[in-house]
């Protein structure tokens, strides 16, 4: 009898110890179906969600080679974020009440990454496996012609530069050095098909329908990006714009390490269903509506 009680006590003790043992943790996270994007690209796009008209000024500020020792888009994330936030505040581009806080929250939630991925998806569908030389990471689509340098771009638009300035290997032309050429008007060309999420400068203009359209597929980390962007930004900012500047994000070059983007701020629930068969005595419920 003593042995029986000892066995029962041991069994209950083991069961209690098993129930008291900590259960293994269950980790739940949410990963997007798209890859991470360059942080500076995300910052610019997120700011433009607050105000669409800040896109081009902020793009110009954060990619200006004279403003940084090294391209901001190639800096570590923390450095890029702090420097970009400082420039946004100094420029007063988001100066409304609560706009900076709203921008920071949207950036943390990565609300702009689906739009960036839409640009990348469009590019890969229309230019699949297109080999690009090392100096053509960014390029301008001029009615089907691919242009990778500032001189050729100016010539197509009908301008030249009286004096290029070399800034960290990029040839830049100030507005005062732009010279309009007296050239024969090109034959009528088919305008590029606009996308609903394109960035366009000038957004609206009385003669927008007559302006030639240049589409820049830009990668902020490419060496030739700012020289092409600055030319188009200058020409499209003239009192009588010489061109309509359309900007689209180009995807990272082939072979660039990529990882799926983790999403923060979204609720993730894991429901565990108990599948044990439970027998319930429902005799006391007879006659009651179910």
pLDDT by residue for the chain (290 residues), tens digit each? Answer: 555 444 444 554 554 555 555 666 766 666 666 677 899 999 999 999 999 899 999 999 999 999 998 899 999 999 999 999 999 999 999 988 889 999 999 998 888 988 999 999 999 999 987 778 888 999 999 999 999 999 999 999 999 999 999 888 888 998 889 998 876 666 667 888 889 999 999 987 767 778 899 999 999 999 999 999 999 999 999 988 999 999 999 998 766 666 666 666 555 566 666 666 666 666 666 655 55
d(CA 62, CA 41): 10
The tokens describing 89, both together, are 């505040």
C-beta separation of 250 from 195 below 8 A: no
d(CA 27, CA 24): 10
pLDDT value of position 129: 73
The residue behind tokens 């793009």 is 59
C-beta separation of 110 from 33 below 8 A: no
d(CA 245, CA 229): 9
The residue behind tokens 């949410």 is 30
The tokens describing 115, both together, are 């739009």
Spell out the residues 6+ positions from residue 170 whose beta carbon is closer than 8 angstroms to its own: 65, 223, 224, 226, 227
pLDDT value of position 4: 46
pLDDT value of position 264: 63
pLDDT value of position 214: 96
The tokens describing 251, both together, are 């995807």
pLDDT value of position 190: 80
Three state DSSP letters for the chain: CHHHHHHHHHHHHHHHHHHHCCCCCCCCCCEEEEECCCHHHHHHHHHHHHCHHHHHHHHHHHHCCCCCCCCHHHCCHHHHHHHHHHHHHHHCCCCCCCHHHHHHHHHHHCCCHHHHHHHHHHHHHHCCCCCCCCCCCCEEEECCEEECCHHHHHHHHCEEECCCEEECCEEECCHHHEEECCCCCCCCCCCCCCCCCCEEECCCCCCHHHCCEEEEEECCCCCCHHHHHHHHHHHHCCCCCCCEEEEEECCCCCCCCCCEEECCCCCCCCCCCCCCCCCCCCHHHCCCCC
């Amino acid at each position: 009898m003593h042995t029986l009680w000892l066995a029962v006590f041991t069994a209950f003790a083991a069961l209690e110890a098993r129930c008291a043992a900590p259960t293994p943790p269950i980790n739940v996270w949410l990963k997007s179906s798209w890859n991470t994007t360059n942080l500076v690209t995300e910052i610019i796009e997120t700011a433009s969600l607050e105000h669409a008209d800040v896109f081009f000024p902020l793009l110009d500020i954060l990619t200006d080679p004279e403003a940084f020792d090294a391209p901001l888009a190639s800096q570590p994330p923390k450095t890029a974020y702090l420097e970009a936030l400082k420039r946004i505040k100094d420029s007063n581009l988001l100066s409304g009440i609560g706009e900076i806080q709203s921008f920071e929250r949207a950036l943390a939630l990565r609300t702009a990454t689906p739009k960036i991925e839409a640009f990348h998806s469009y590019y890969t569908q229309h230019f699949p496996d297109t080999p690009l030389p090392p100096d053509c990471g960014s390029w301008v689509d001029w009615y089907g012609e691919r242009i990778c340098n500032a001189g050729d771009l100016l010539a197509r638009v009908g301008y030249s530069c009286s004096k290029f300035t070399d800034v960290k290997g990029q040839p830049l032309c100030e507005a005062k050095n732009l010279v309009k050429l007296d050239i024969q008007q090109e034959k009528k060309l088919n305008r590029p098909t606009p996308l609903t999420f394109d960035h366009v400068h000038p957004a609206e203009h009385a003669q927008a329908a007559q302006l030639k359209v240049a589409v820049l597929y830009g990668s902020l980390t490419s060496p030739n990006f700012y020289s092409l962007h600055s030319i188009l930004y200058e020409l499209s900012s003239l009192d009588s714009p010489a061109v309509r500047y359309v900007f689209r994000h180009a995807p990272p070059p082939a072979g660039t390490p990529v990882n799926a983007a983790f999403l923060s701020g979204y609720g993730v629930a894991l429901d565990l269903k108990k599948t044990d068969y439970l027998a319930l005595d429902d005799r006391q419920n007879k006659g009651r509506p179910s």
